Structure 1
Amino acid sequence: MLQIDGISRKFGDVTALDDVSLEIGQGEFFALLGPSGCGKTTLLRIIAGFERPDAGQLWLDGADLLPIPPNMRPISLMFQSYALFPHMSVAKNVAYGLERERLPKQEIRQRVGEVLETVGLSAHASRRPAQLSGGQRQRVALARSIVKRPRLLLLDEPLSALDKKVRAEMQLELKRLQNDVGITFVVVTHDQEEAMSLADRIAVFDNGAVRQVDEPVALYERPRTPFVADFVGANNLFHGTADGPDALKSADFGSLPGTPLTALGAEAKALLAVRPEKVELVDDDAAGGVKGSVLDVSFYGGVSHISVDVPGHVKPVLVAVQGASAVQPGAKVRVRWEAKDAVIMAADQ
């Protein structure tokens, strides 16, 4: 549905986007994920028409978007601040765009009523934004965005203004709403958890470039670059060189088991990434693994995080286990994992 081909954008000496190409399908929930300043909001503004790229092309359903002004594009953008009119009621806020199009009053009333029903705000139609909670204001902004029935809805950090509990509720609400209305959603976020829970696919950005595009599970379990491995979720990273088809050779720890995602030349610089939940904690006298001592044990209600100091490793190795852990700080242990549970990638990507 949306095709982004070689989009680049510079602001002076700063490269915001560097030859970005993506394809987003009809009805997809697509996330642009990355740290602040990586270019994801710039791309969103280019799609919306508020910025022009220095190079590249942009198509929606095969039609060139770049010559079309923002107000003529079949696209809605929901701002991070929600940008609601404080002096208008909920219903008036939602109806504003339709009134600007001079649609018949009966059609406006019908469409506003339908969309307020969809987002669960029918009972609050006469209230003003100041009388609503943060989650309710977010729903008003969503209703105003979808009432015009755009082909594409762009959301810029849509949940960042909400507290943790309301954010979790609204993640479910956003996904339900997207399924109900059938509009393609593109969301910008720096929150990995938000992207993983919402999106069908995720594009990870770094310094204006796309490092990986994948479904959430594949992105988490099979990161293809050191940046993605380090940025998406917690990971234990070991540096070394390729050591055959299923291992990394480390100067400090010998041969560590893992699975290369692509063929690596002999002695090529490589990085091994293993998730905390894939790491097994065993007694010091057990076979295999890497020796260390427990630094800290933290209980997070259902999961315990154990930090293990491993001599020769820059950071403590993080181990995640179900339930409360009986291990105590200071205990001598070993950490180990299966080759299938660790990923080996080229270190210079």
Structure 2
Amino acid sequence: MLQITGVSRRFGDITALSEVSLEIRQGEFFALLGPSGCGKTTLLRILAGFEAPDEGTVTLDGEDLLRQAAHRRPVNLMFQSYALFPHMTVAKNVAYGLEREKLAGAEIRRRVGEVLEKVGLDTMAGRKPQQLSGGQRQRVALARAIVKRPRLLLLDEPLSALDKKVRAEMQLELKRLQNEVGITFVVVTHDQEEAMSLADRIAVFSEGRVQQVDAPVELYERPRTPFVAGFVGANNLFEGRACSVGLASDGLGVLPGVSTLPDGTPALLAVRPERLRLDGQGVLRGDVVDVSFYGGVSHVSVRVAGRSTPVLVATQGATQVQAGSPVALSWSAGDGVLIPQ
């Protein structure tokens, strides 16, 4: 539905976007994920019409989106701050865009009623924003964005202002609403958990470039670049050279992994903490530095000779090992992913 091809944007000496190309499908929940300053919000502003790229094209349903004025695009942007009118009721806030389009009063009331019911605020139509909780204000902003039935809804860090419990609830709510209304959602976030729980596919950005586009599970289990391996979730990264059975590492020996790289290629081996086992038949041996319990999961840091940073192991429940204990670490070859350096 949305085709972004070779989009670049510079601000003086700073390149915010560099030859970004993406395809976003009809009805998809698509996330732009990356650290602050990686270019994801600049791309969102280009789609909304608040920025123009220096190079590249953007088409929506085959039509040039960049030639349309911001207010003419079938695109709506939900701001991070929600930007609600404090002097208007919930219903008036939601109706504002429809009134600007001069729709008939009966049609406006019908559509506002429908969308408020959808977001669970039909009983609060007469309240002002200051009488609502943060989660309820977020729903009003969402209702106002979808009542105009845009082809594409852009969300800029939509849940960052909410506390952890409300954020978890709203993640489920956003996903349910997106399925129900059938609008294509593009969300910008630096929160990996948010992107992984919401999106059908994720584009990971770094320094203005797309590093990888994949479904959440594939992105987590098969990172293709060192940046993605280090940014998406916790990872243990070992340096060395690819070999037929994994990675040959100076000082650590041969570490098991699945490789499609030519032998001798400089590479990283990525092993997720939950894939590591503490057992007697170890690939590596070391001493426990620290044990932390996180309600259902224990994190064990192990210092291994020949490696500058501890290896992180995640085990289910409370663990019996203690700081100072000697341990052996092992993992299956299929759990080690080789990435070219």
Q: What TM-score, normalized by structure 2, do the two folds share?
A: 0.99
Match of 1:59 in 2: 59
User: What is the one-letter code of the residue matched to 1:314?
Assistant: S
For 2:172 and 2:281, the matched residues in 1 are separated by 44
Match of 2:340 in 1: 346
Residue from 317, 325, 331 that aligns with 2:319: 325
Structure 2 matches for 1:199-218, cutoff 5 A? 199-218=199-218
Residues 287-296 or 46-55, more deviating: 287-296
Match of 2:297 in 1: 303
Residues 303-312 or 155-164, more deviating: 303-312
Partner of 2:109, secondary structure, is helix
User: What is the one-letter code of the residue matched to 1:333?
Assistant: V
- Following TM superposition, by how much is the alpha carbon of 1:297 offset from its aligned partner in structure 2, in angstroms? 1.2
Residues 287-296 or 189-198, more deviating: 287-296
For 1:134 and 1:107, the matched residues in 2 are separated by 29
Residue from 327, 331, 334 that aligns with 2:328: 334
Structure 2 matches for 1:9-20, cutoff 5 A? 9-20=9-20
Asked if residue 38 in structure 1 is aligned to residue 35 in structure 2, the reply is: no
- Following TM superposition, by how much is the alpha carbon of 1:202 offset from its aligned partner in structure 2, in angstroms? 0.2
Match of 1:289 in 2: 283
Residue from 276, 280, 299 that aligns with 1:279: 276
The alignment-based identity, stated in percent, is 72
In structure 2, stretches of 5+ residues that fail to align are: none
- Distance change >3 Å, CA 306–CA 288, structure 1 → 2: closer
Asked if residue 258 in structure 1 is aligned to residue 257 in structure 2, the reply is: yes
User: What is the one-letter code of the residue matched to 2:268?
Assistant: L
Partner of 2:318, secondary structure, is coil
For 2:249 and 2:192, the matched residues in 1 are separated by 30
- Following TM superposition, by how much is the alpha carbon of 1:252 offset from its aligned partner in structure 2, in angstroms? 1.3
Which digits, 9 at most, give the CA deviation of each residue in 1:72-112, with x for residues without a partner? Answer: 00000000000001111100000000000010010000000
For 2:282 and 2:38, the matched residues in 1 are separated by 41
The number of aligned residues is 341
For 2:300 and 2:335, the matched residues in 1 are separated by 18
Aligned partners of 2:243 and 2:262 also within 8 Å: no
Which digits, 9 at most, give the CA deviation of each residue in 1:225-281, with x for residues without a partner? Answer: 00000000000000001122x310000100000112xx3233211000000000011
Match of 1:29 in 2: 29
User: What is the one-letter code of the residue matched to 1:268?
Assistant: T
Which digits, 9 at most, give the CA deviation of each residue in 1:41-69, with x for residues without a partner? Answer: 00000001110000000000001101100
- Following TM superposition, by how much is the alpha carbon of 1:218 offset from its aligned partner in structure 2, in angstroms? 0.2
Aligned partners of 2:84 and 2:93 also within 8 Å: yes
For 1:155 and 1:97, the matched residues in 2 are separated by 17
Q: What TM-score, normalized by structure 1, do the two folds share?
A: 0.97
Match of 1:126 in 2: 126
Residue from 284, 309, 326 that aligns with 1:315: 309
Q: Aligned-pair RMSD on alpha carbons?
A: 0.7
In structure 1, stretches of 5+ residues that fail to align are: none
Partner of 2:268, secondary structure, is strand
Partner of 1:345, secondary structure, is strand
